[in-house]
C-alpha cells in the first residue's frame, strides 16, 4: 500500500490537527483500527482524530481539496463499516475526543460531544441531577450515529427515540462551514440530521432535552426451552397479540428472542412489581420452562436487557464476521397466524450454515408513532414491532447459505398474502446486500433528503455505499 507520503494531502491533514502525528493514522504507515464487521473489509486512506469543531472543518476542507470522500465515526459500530468510510480510500473523522458534557441547571438541556458512548451518556446524565433520555442498551455504541439514525430503546414507547431528544446540532458541512441546525435554524438540515446525518455532514455537538430518570421498574424474563416449531409459534402468536393491542400501556417494553435453545420473552415494566403483576403477563402464554423477575430502583440498572447482553457477548466490541437484517411491522401489517406457523417451520427446518444465530422481535411504537413521518428523516414512524435477525460466523466469512437463511425469513413473510410485509429496513442495522437501500431506510422521505443533499453536499463528499444520493433541488 505504500507509505503515508503516498496519501494525497498528507501535510494538509497533519496540519489540520496541529501537526500532532499521534492524531493521524495514514494507510501504509500506522496500523489502522480493525473493522467492526470482518465480513466487509474496508481500508480508509486515513483516520484522523480531531479535538475541536474547527479541526473537523479543516479536515473536511483538506478532503475536498484532495478529492476524498468523508465519513464521521463515533462508536464505530456500523454493521457495514460505514464508520470506516464505507469505501476504500475515504477519510474517516474519528470523534473519540469529543467528550464534553454540561447540563443547564434550569432547562435540563444537556450539551454533549458526539464521541460520547451510550454507556457514558447514561452515567453523565444521571450524575447531573438524575436525568435520562431514551436510547438503546448497548453501552459501546456511539451517540454520533445513534442520535442521528434513530435510537430505539426500552423507554422509547414513553419518550420516543434517541433522535427525538435532539434540540440542536452543530454540524460541519461539505464546504467546511460550521452551522447550527434546529427547529428555528437551518430547518431542512435539522430534518436530515434526525435520521440520515452521515450523508450530510459531521455533527460535533448535540443539545438534548432530558427527563427525570425513572425511580422504579420491574425487569422480567420468561423462557421456553423447546424444539418444536409449533410450540414456538404458539408463544409468538400470543406475544404478538398482546403487544399489538391498542390499549397496551406505554410503560411496557418487550422483546421476543428465538434461537436454537428456544424462546425468551423479556423486557421492562416501568412501574412497580405490583403493577406488573396486576398486568398478569404470564396468563397470556403457555406455561414457560422458567421465569425471572427483578425490581430495580436505579436507572443505571434499568437500561440493560437480556437480549442486548446476548448481542453484546456475541458481536459487542469485538470484531467478528456477521450479517444482520431488519424488517418493520405496523398495526396494519401484523403477521397472520398461518404465516407465523410457516416462519417457525422454516426456521426449524432450514440449514443455517452456523450455530451462532438468533432472531429478535422488538416491541416499539408508542411515543415513536406520535411524531409525523415527515417531521424527521427517520421514516418508520408507523412501526410498532421490528424483526432483527443475526448470524455470526465463528470460523471465517459468513457463507452464502447463512445469508440465504436470513433472507429466507424475510421472504417467508414477504412472499405471503399478508398485506404486511412491506418494504423497509432500520437504517441503524445496515444491510449491505439489500436492494434499493435508500428507499428501504428512508421511504417517503427520500425525495426531500435527495433535494437537501443537492443543496448542502452537491459533490457527495459525505458518502458511503448506501448514503443519500444527490437529487434535484426543491
Distance CA 170, CA 334 (A): 39
> CA neighbours within 13 Å on the CB side: how many for 215?
3
The confidence score (pLDDT) of residue 71 equals: 96
> How is residue 370 annotated by DSSP?
T
Which domains does the chain carry? Answer: 4-94 (3.30.43.10), 101-213 (3.30.465.10), 217-440 (3.40.462.20)
d(CA 57, CA 15): 12
Residue 304 has what pLDDT? 64
Q: Identify the pLDDT of residue 283.
A: 77
User: What's the pTM?
Assistant: 0.93
What residues contact residue 105 under an 8 Å CB cut-off, 6+ apart? none
Give the count of alpha carbons within 13 A of 8, CB side only: 10
Terminal-to-terminal C-alpha distance of the chain: 43
CB of 183 closer than 8 Å to CB of 190: yes
Residue 444, class by beta-carbon neighbours within 10 Å (0-12 exposed, 13-18 middle, 19+ buried)? exposed
Mean pLDDT, the chain cut into blocks of 10 residues (474 residues total):
64 96 87 80 94 98 97 89 86 97 97 96 96 92 95 95 98 98 98 97 98 94 85 93 92 94 92 88 73 82 62 62 92 91 95 93 96 97 95 91 94 65 80 90 96 97 95 70
Instruction: Order across the sheet with 101-103: list the strands.
Output: 101-103, 109-113, 202-209, 166-172, 178-182
Q: What whole-number distance in Å separates Cα of residue 283 and Cα of residue 279?
A: 9
Question: Longest Cα pair distance anywhere in the chain, in angstroms?
Answer: 68
Give the other-Cβ count within 10 Å of 245's Cβ. 9
Question: Could you tell me the CA-to-CA distances from 207 to 114, 145, 204, 461 in Å, in that order?
Answer: 10, 15, 11, 25
Q: Supply the pLDDT for residue 2.
A: 39
Residue (of 214, 210, 224) closest to 111 by Cα position:
210
Amino acid at each position: 500500500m505504500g507509505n503515508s507520503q503516498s496519501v494525497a494531502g498528507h501535510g494538509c491533514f497533519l496540519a489540520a490537527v496541529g501537526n500532532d502525528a499521534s492524531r493521524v493514522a495514514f494507510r501504509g504507515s500506522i496500523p489502522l483500527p480493525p473493522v467492526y464487521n470482518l465480513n466487509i473489509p474496508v481500508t480508509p486512506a486515513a483516520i484522523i482524530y480531531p479535538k475541536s469543531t474547527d479541526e473537523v472543518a479543516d479536515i473536511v476542507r483538506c478532503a475536498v481539496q484532495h478529492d476524498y470522500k468523508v465519513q464521521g465515526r463515533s462508536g464505530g459500530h456500523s454493521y457495514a463499516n460505514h464508520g470506516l468510510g464505507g469505501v476504500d480510500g475515504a477519510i474517516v473523522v474519528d470523534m473519540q475526543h469529543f467528550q464534553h458534557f454540561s447540563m443547564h441547571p434550569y432547562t435540563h438541556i444537556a450539551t454533549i460531544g458526539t464521541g460520547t458512548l451510550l454507556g457514558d451518556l447514561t452515567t453523565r446524565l444521571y450524575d447531573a441531577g438524575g436525568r435520562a433520555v431514551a436510547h438503546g442498551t448497548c453501552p459501546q455504541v456511539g451517540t454520533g450515529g445513534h442520535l442521528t439514525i434513530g435510537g430505539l430503546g426500552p423507554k422509547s414507547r414513553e419518550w420516543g427515540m434517541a433522535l427525538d431528544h435532539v434540540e440542536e446540532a452543530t454540524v460541519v458541512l461539505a464546504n467546511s462551514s460550521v452551522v447550527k441546525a434546529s427547529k428555528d435554524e437551518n430547518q431542512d438540515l435539522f430534518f436530515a440530521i434526525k435520521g440520515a446525518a452521515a450523508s450530510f455532514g459531521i455533527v460535533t455537538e448535540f443539545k438534548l432535552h432530558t427527563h427525570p430518570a425513572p425511580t422504579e421498574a420491574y425487569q422480567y424474563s420468561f423462557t421456553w426451552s423447546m424444539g418444536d416449531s409449533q410450540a414456538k409459534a404458539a408463544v409468538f402468536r400470543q406475544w404478538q397479540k398482546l403487544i399489538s393491542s391498542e390499549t397496551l400501556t406505554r410503560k411496557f417494553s418487550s422483546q421476543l428472542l428465538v434461537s436454537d435453545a428456544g424462546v425468551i420473552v423479556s423486557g421492562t415494566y416501568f412501574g412497580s412489581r405490583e403493577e406488573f403483576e396486576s398486568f398478569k403477563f404470564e396468563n397470556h402464554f403457555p406455561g414457560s420452562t422458567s421465569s425471572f423477575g427483578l425490581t430495580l430502583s436505579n436507572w443505571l440498572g434499568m437500561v440493560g436487557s437480556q437480549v442486548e447482553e446476548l448481542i453484546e457477548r456475541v458481536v459487542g466490541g469485538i470484531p467478528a464476521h456477521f450479517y444482520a437484517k431488519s424488517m418493520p411491522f405496523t398495526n396494519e401489517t401484523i403477521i397472520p397466524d398461518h404465516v407465523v406457523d410457516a416462519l417457525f417451520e422454516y426456521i426449524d427446518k432450514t440449514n443455517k450454515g452456523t450455530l451462532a444465530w438468533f432472531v429478535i422481535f422488538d416491541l416499539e411504537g408508542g411515543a415513536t408513532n406520535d411524531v409525523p413521518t415527515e417531521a424527521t428523516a427517520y421514516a418508520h414512524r408507523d412501526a410498532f414491532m421490528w424483526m432483527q435477525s443475526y448470524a455470526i460466523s465463528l470460523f471465517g466469512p459468513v457463507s452464502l447459505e447463512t445469508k440465504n437463511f436470513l433472507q429466507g425469513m424475510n421472504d417467508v413473510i414477504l412472499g405471503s398474502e399478508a398485506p404486511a410485509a412491506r418494504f423497509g429496513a432500520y437504517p441503524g442495522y445496515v444491510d449491505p446486500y439489500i436492494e434499493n437501500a435508500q428507499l428501504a431506510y428512508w421511504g417517503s422521505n427520500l425525495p426531500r433528503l435527495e433535494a437537501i443533499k443537492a443543496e448542502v453536499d452537491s459533490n457527495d463528499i459525505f458518502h458511503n455505499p448506501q448514503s443519500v444520493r444527490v437529487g434535484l433541488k426543491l
